[in-house]
Amino acid sequence: MFIDRAKIYIKAGDGGNGAISFRREKYVPAGGPDGGDGGKGGDIVFEVDEGLRTLIDFRYRRKYIAGSGDNGGPAKRTGKSGEDLVIRVPPGTVIKDAETGRILADMVEPGQRTVVARGGKGGAGNWHFATPTRQIPNFAKPGDPGEEYTVELELKMVADVGLVGFPNAGKSTLLSKVTAARPKIADYPFTTLEPNLGVVRVDEGASFLLEDIPGLIEGAHRGVGLGFDFLRHVERCKMFLHIVDVAGVDGRDPVEDFEKINEELRLYDPKLAERYQVVAANKIDLPQGKENLERFTREVEAKGYKVFPISAASNTGVWQLMQYIAAKLDELPVVVPLTDTDEEVVYTAKEEEPFTIRREGNVFIVEGNWVDKLVKSVNFNSHESVQYFQRSLKTKGVIDALEEMGINEGDTVRIYDIEFEYVR
């Protein structure tokens, strides 16, 4: 089964904690602080694997967590960094933040590697906090937490040529004739419910990937039918092969069919309407096909398209069409993948406020990752460490923010598990 979407949880490794240690050697009874730094947490790295074609593996494993860094040691020993976790995905996989929809990475080229979640920085050992007036710092910093996301993986199959057209136009039949792919073929709408990919070998060293996009219908650009699921697979194709049932077997007019499909492509994304397109007038072996061919060719070629009369069922004209496509592909420029952002897709770290304050009666509650890490780094049994805590709150603007909110002397400030009375 072709799986083209998956949702997984990823978490980079946490940084190791800095150590609290003091040099203790013979003849040096009162050595200075020498607690080492914590190791860096491992990154979550996505890598393109040419051998993968689906996202089916992500149905069975939904959590991916990189290794955390080791804690620092005495003698300024830095903890070992956590191991990166490499997640392999097929070419054409787009990775999005499930919460915001922002594209974190667009994995296209074989071997491409992208860091999507960065490991936390290791905490500083206590020797970093020694000063002339604070010679015995009895505290260190914990490691930063690794970044975490719930991400959506979306596979957009990468093909050179995309087959587009109404259901039952003959796309699957053509694909089965020119490649080793064996799509399901029958005479009813939506026979193909998932894209099929095959290699067309025209000559020695000359081949291209041909993808059968499931049949489109009017309103596909709005998601009617399986519109969104189908249309996103054509975004990366270098050119389109538009198959039209010129015999009008289902009672439709072939020229109208041709115009409706192009309109759906244009409404989904105007750039798709500009993609190079070859038209195959299929089913010319049927009496109505022969009758409609002249009018269809005249009207479509007047719009600037090249029309090839074929019969996919009997292989008539198919080989000449494939040879033309192979030659044309060499002339066409590389397609820039369409995304929902105009910016280059690069890794961006999450941005957040260092703290937030909310009030419940006379209790002011301070929260945020920064203050959480600060509290964990403080030894509240050490006067020097508590002084460091107070200075950090002042420097970061917490005290000013509390006063702007109207805090009075004697009111309670709560920072996670710590509570104290506010004193000016």
- In which element (H, E) is residue 250 found? none
Residue 34 lies in a domain: yes
Regarding whether 275 and 191 lie in a shared domain, the answer is yes
CATH number, residue 108: 2.70.210.12
Residue 350 lies in a domain: no
- Looking at the chain, the whole-number percentage of residues with pLDDT higher than 90 is 45
Regarding whether 314 and 189 lie in a shared domain, the answer is yes
Q: Which of 13-17, 286-290, 370-374, 391-395 has the lowest mean pLDDT?
A: 370-374
Give the residue with greater pLDDT, 37 vs 424. 37
Regarding whether 269 and 130 lie in a shared domain, the answer is no
Mean pLDDT of 68-89: 95
Residue 89 lies in a domain: yes
Regarding whether 309 and 272 lie in a shared domain, the answer is yes
Regarding whether 321 and 197 lie in a shared domain, the answer is yes
Regarding whether 109 and 31 lie in a shared domain, the answer is yes
Regarding whether 183 and 324 lie in a shared domain, the answer is yes
**Domain residue limits at 210:** 161-329
* 10 vs 89: CA distance, rounded Å: 14
Residue holding tokens 């710092």?
137
Average pLDDT taken over every residue of the chain: 83
Residue 339 lies in a domain: no
* 131 vs 248: CA distance, rounded Å: 87
pLDDT digits (tens, 9 = 90+) for 258-275: 998 898 888 878 888 888
Query: Which string of DSSP letters, residue by residue, matches 305-337?
Result: -EEEE-BTTTTBTHHHHHHHHHHHHTTSPPPPP
Mean pLDDT of 105-114: 88
From 100, 126, 155, give the residue that closes a domain: 155
From 102, 127, 155, give the residue that closes a domain: 155
The residue type of 158 is: V
pLDDT digits (tens, 9 = 90+) for 225-261: 444 455 666 777 889 999 999 999 888 899 999 998 8
* 281 vs 321: CA distance, rounded Å: 11
Strands (E), 263-374: 277-282, 306-309, 356-360, 363-367
* 197 vs 190: CA distance, rounded Å: 17
Residue 177 lies in a domain: yes
* 339 vs 359: CA distance, rounded Å: 42
Residue 344 lies in a domain: no
User: What pLDDT is stored for residue 239 in this prediction?
Assistant: 92
Regarding whether 228 and 207 lie in a shared domain, the answer is yes
Regarding whether 142 and 180 lie in a shared domain, the answer is no
- The token pair that represents 28 in the structure block: 């040096």
- Total domains in the fold of the chain: 3
Task: Grade residue 176 by pLDDT with cuts at 50, 70 and 90.
Answer: confident
Regarding whether 165 and 121 lie in a shared domain, the answer is no
Q: Which residues contact 146 (CB under 8 A, 6 or more apart)?
A: 11, 12, 13, 14, 15, 41, 42, 66, 68, 117, 118, 119, 120
CA-based nearest residue to 221, from 236, 235, 242: 235
Entry pTM: 0.59
Residue 349 lies in a domain: no
User: What pLDDT is stored for residue 150 in this prediction?
Assistant: 95
CATH number, residue 273: 3.40.50.300
- The token pair that represents 320 in the structure block: 């000449």
Q: Which of 85-99, 181-195, 400-414 has the lowest mean pLDDT?
A: 181-195
* 364 vs 115: CA distance, rounded Å: 38
Residue 340 lies in a domain: no
- In which element (H, E) is residue 103 found? strand 103-107
Strands (E), 113-195: 113-117, 148-155, 161-164
Q: Which of 65-79, 144-158, 198-212, 333-347 has the lowest mean pLDDT?
A: 333-347
Residue holding tokens 């689906």?
54
User: What pLDDT is stored for residue 158 in this prediction?
Assistant: 67
